[in-house]
Chains A and B, each alone.
Chain A
Amino acid sequence: MRQRILPWGALTTLCIAINALFVLFPLLTLVGNSFSGADGIGFDGLARFLATPDYLRGLRNTVVLGVAVTVAATLVGVPFAYIVARYDFPLKNFVALLPVATIIIPEVITCQSWLLVLGNNGFVTKALRDSAGIELPSFYGWGGMIFVMTLVYYTYIYLGTLAALRGFDGQLEEASRSLGRTPVETVFRVVIPTVAPAILVNAMVVFTLVVGNFAVSIILGNRIPLLSIQTYNAFVNEMGGSPVMQSTLSLVMITLVAIVLFVQKRFVERRLVQMAQGRAPAAVRVASWRGMAFAGLVLVVVLLSFLPLVTVFVAAFSESRGPLVRWGTFSLAGIERALTAGVDPILNSLKFASVATAAGIAFAVLASYLIVKKRSAATQALDYLVVLPLTISGTVLGIALVQAFNSGSMVLTGTALIMIVTYVVRRMPFSIRSAASSLYNIPDSLEEASISLGVPPLKTFLKVVVPVMWASVASAFVLMWASTLSELSASIVVYGGGLETLPIAIFRQVDSGRMGPASAYAAVLVVLIVVPIALSVKLLRIRLFATK
C-alpha cells in the first residue's frame, strides 16, 4: 500500500493545502468578516445593505446591466456564429482573428481606446461636432458600458455557438426536411433547440463576467451605482477600519454569481446535446449581394475588435496634453517616458506575469492530473476547491486575500508574493480545465505501459504524460500569460507601493485624464502580450483554440 500513498497522496495533500490556504481560508475570512458585529456575530453589514437605497440600486443595476450585455452579446454572437458555420463568402478567413483580439487586448485598453474615439474629446465626437455640429450623447454611462462590454464579451457566445453548430449532425436537418419542414422551419424547430443549451451556458458565463466586471464599469460607469464598484469603493473607504461593508457587498456578489452558476450546472449543462456522430452540413458558398453583406459584416466586426489596437498605438506616438490627443502629430515623448522614468510598471508586470504563469501552469498540470487520473475522495475535494474561484470576481478575490493576509501569522499584503498568488488563483479554474481536457484523451494504459516497462510512477508522469499533454499545456501557458498581464480587478485591490503593474498604471492615467501616458503604457502592454505569444505560437506550433 505504501506505493499508493507516495507520491500521489502526498502531492494531493499538498495541492489541497495550497488551495485551503489561498482560496478557502480567504473566502471564510471574508464570510466571517461580513457577519461580524461589535461583539462577535452580527448582521450589521446585511442590515446596512438592505437599508441603503444606493446599495439596492447597485444590485438592481448590476442585474440589469448583466442582462442587457448578455442579450446584446447573444444577438451579435449567435447570428454571427451561424453565418460563419454555414456559409462561405469572401473574407471569411478573417473571423479566425476575432478570438485573438479578445485575448491580446486587455479590457482597460478597449475602454480607453473607445474613449479616444467616442469620449468627450474623442476624434469621432470632435469631428462630428466641428464639421456638422452634431453632439453625440455622452459615452459615459449605460450606453458606453453596454457597447464596450458587448464588444469584449460577445466572443464567448460566438465561440460556444460556433462549436455547437460545428458538432451538429447534419442528418437531423435532412430528416426534418424529408418529413416536410421547410429549411427555415428546420432551423427554428431542429437546429436552434439543439444548440440552445450551449448558447445558454455561454450566455450565463457572460452574465457572471459582467457582474464581476471592474475595468469597464469604473471607467465608463459615470457614478451609476454598480455592485462591483461599490464593493471596491467600500474597500478603499474602509482601509484601516472594520471591513464589514466590503465583505457584505462581496458576499452579495458571490451569491449572485453562485446562483447563476448553480442553475447553469444543475439545469442547463445537463441539457447539452451530445451528438453521437454525424457531420455538420458543409458551408454553403454564397456570392452576389448576400456574400457581400456577410463579408461586410465580418469586416465591421473585425474592425471594431481591432480598432482599439490602432487607436492606442497612434495615440502612443502622438503629442498629447491631458485628455487631449493631437491626432496627426508625431512624438516619441510618451513612449520614451514609459521606458525610462516610468519603467517600473513594465518591469513589475513582466516579473509577476513570468513567475505567476510558470507557477500557475505547473500547479494546473499537477492538479488536473491528480483530479483526472488519481480519483479518490481527496482529489474529488480538490476538484471542487479549484473551481471555487469561478464564483469570485477579481475585486472580491483581491479583498478576500487582503483580509486573510493583512495580519496574523502570515502577512503578505504589500509583497510581490500576494500579487502572484492573486494571479495564480484567479486563473486556476481555466488553466486546470485546459490541462485536464487533454488528460481525458490519454488512456490510463499509456502510463501503465511505462510503469510495466520499469519506469516508476512519478518519472512516468514526466516522461509519458507531460509530453502528450504538451500541446494543451502550451496553449494554457499562452492564455495565462495574456490574461495575467491584462489582470486589473484583483491586482488593483491587493497591490501596494512599488508593485504597480501596467494595467493599474493605465487605469490610473485614464482616471486622471492623462491619455498620452495611458496610451504609451497600453502600447507597451500589447507588445508584451503579443510578441511572446506570436513567437511561441510560431516556434512551438501551438494551436490556441480547440475549435478549428
Chain B
Amino acid sequence: MAAITISKVSKAYGKAAVLQGVELAIENGTFFTLLGPSGCGKTTLLRTIAGFISPDTGKILFDGEDVTRVPVHRRDIGMVFQDYALFPDKTVFANVAYGLRARGHDRSTVEKSVAAHLDRVGLAHLGDRYPAELSGGQRQRAALARALVIRPRVLLMDEPLSNLDAKLRVTMRETILDLQRASRTTTIFVTHDQEEALSMSDRIAILDRGVIAQVGTPEDLYERPANAYVADFIGAANVLPVRILRAAGEGHVIAAIAGHELCCLGSGTARGGEDGKLIARPELLVLGEAEAAPGTPNVLKGQVARRQYLGARTVYTVRIGNELTITAERHAGATHQPLLAPGQPVDVVVPRTSRVVAA
C-alpha cells in the first residue's frame, strides 16, 4: 500500500498529446477513479503508473520514491485487466499462485495465501478449474484474487466491469469495494461509466483530452462542477449560454438568458460583463403551470416541446423563446401531478443553487 504521486506527467504519440501535465496526489488506502470518455487518456495514464508506458516528461512516485524508471515487474503492483488476462493453460489456483511463486514464496505459504484469497472472492471450490470453464463473473473474481494475493502497493484496474452484463456489474462493484475496504489497498480504477465512478470512489479525477478537468469527491463533482465539461459528464446537465450581469453577494451572480434574469451561484472564475454557462440539472428544475408574472426572478417561461414518459419519471423538453430548449424531469410518486401536454405553456423554475461558470 502506498500513496501515489503523479507529477507533471506528459505523453505524446507523434504529434498527438495524449497526456498533458497530469498532476495527481492519491492518498494511501483510497479508492481513486479515473473517469472520462473513451479516448481521453485514462488507459495511457494507468499504464504509465503501472510502468508499461514511460512518460515523456514527469515523474511517478510511490510513497515518495521515484519509480519512473523502475521496470513493471519490480513495481509491486496488482493489475486487473478488462479481458481478465487469465493464463488459459493454468488452473485458477495456479493463476492466483503465479505472482507468489515468482516471488519465491515457499509451498505452504503459497497454498495458504491462495486458498485464503480464493475463499475471499468466493472461488474456494473452483481452484482446479481452467479459465475457460468459468463464467464471466468468476473470471473477474479470479483475476482480482490474482492481483490482490501478492499484497501489491497499488491495485490498478482498467474498466474491469465493462465485459460483464448489467446485473453482474452491480454485484461486482460491491465485491471489489468489499475487498478494497478489507485490504485498504490503494486502488486506481479506470472507467467511462459515471455511475460506477460515483458509487464506488473515495475520490474521482475527470480527464478531458489528456488534461485533468477536476479532482474531488463524488459529491464535489456532482454539486460543484468546476466547468461545463465536468457537469455534463457527471449526471446529465443543461449547459446553456448566459451573459453574466453582476455579482449579487454570497457568491451569487445575476445572469441573463433569453430575456430572463437568473440569480445563481457563480464560480470563482465567472465575472460580471462576461459570457458564462449555466449548469442546470434536469432533476433539480421545477416545472409548474404558467402562472408566475413575467420578470419573476429564476422563472423561465416556455412551452412543452416534447414529452418522454419513462415510468418512474417523465422527461420534458421545454422551448424557451425561439432559440433555447431546456430539459427538465418530473418524478412520479410524490406529487401525483398530471402529465403536461406538448404545446402547453409552462414555467421552469431554476434553483438558486444552480451554477454559472465561465464559458
Contact = CB atoms under 8 A, between A and B. Distances in A.
Interface of A: 1, 3-4, 443, 445-446, 448-457, 460, 464, 467-468, 470
A374 B26 CA distance: 32
Contacts of B150: 453-454
Contacts of A452: 50, 72-73, 75, 77-79, 147, 156
B76 A445 contact: no
Interface in B6-65: 50, 52, 54
Interface stretch (B98-106, B235-243, B260-268): B98-106
A445 B81 contact: yes
B146 interface: yes
Contacts of A450: 87, 98
A377 to B, nearest CB: 14
Nearest to A1: B54
B93 to A, nearest CB: 15
A464 to B, nearest CB: 6
A456 B50 CA distance: 14
Interface of A is mostly: helix
Contact of A449 (B54, B76, B85): B85
Contact of B98 (A1, A3, A453, A467): A453
Interface residues of B, number: 29
Nearest to A467: B89
Interface of B: 50, 52, 54, 71-79, 81-83, 85-89, 98-99, 102-103, 143, 146-147, 150, 156
B83 A451 contact: no
A468 B88 contact: yes
A464 B87 contact: yes
A455 B50 contact: no
7 contacts: A4-B54, A450-B87, A454-B74, A454-B76, A454-B102, A455-B102, A464-B87
A453 B102 contact: yes
B73 to A, nearest CB: 5
A446 B77 contact: no
Contacts of A4: 54
Contacts of A464: 87
B88 A443 contact: no
A454 B152 CA distance: 10
A470 B89 CA distance: 10
Q: Which of A443, A446, A454 lies at the interface centre, i.e. has the most chain B CB atoms within 10 A of its CB?
A: A454
A448 B52 contact: yes
Contacts of A448: 50, 52, 72, 79, 81, 85
B79 A454 contact: no
Contacts of B146: 449, 453
Given A454-B99, A457-B73, 8 more contacts: A4-B54, A443-B83, A448-B81, A451-B72, A453-B150, A454-B76, A467-B87, A468-B87
A3 B50 CA distance: 14
B105 to A, nearest CB: 11
Given A1-B54, A448-B79, A449-B79, A456 B85 contact: no
Nearest to A452: B79
A247 to B, nearest CB: 43
Contact of B89 (A1, A3, A457, A468): A468
Given A1-B54, A448-B52, A454 B73 contact: yes
Contacts of B98: 450, 453, 455
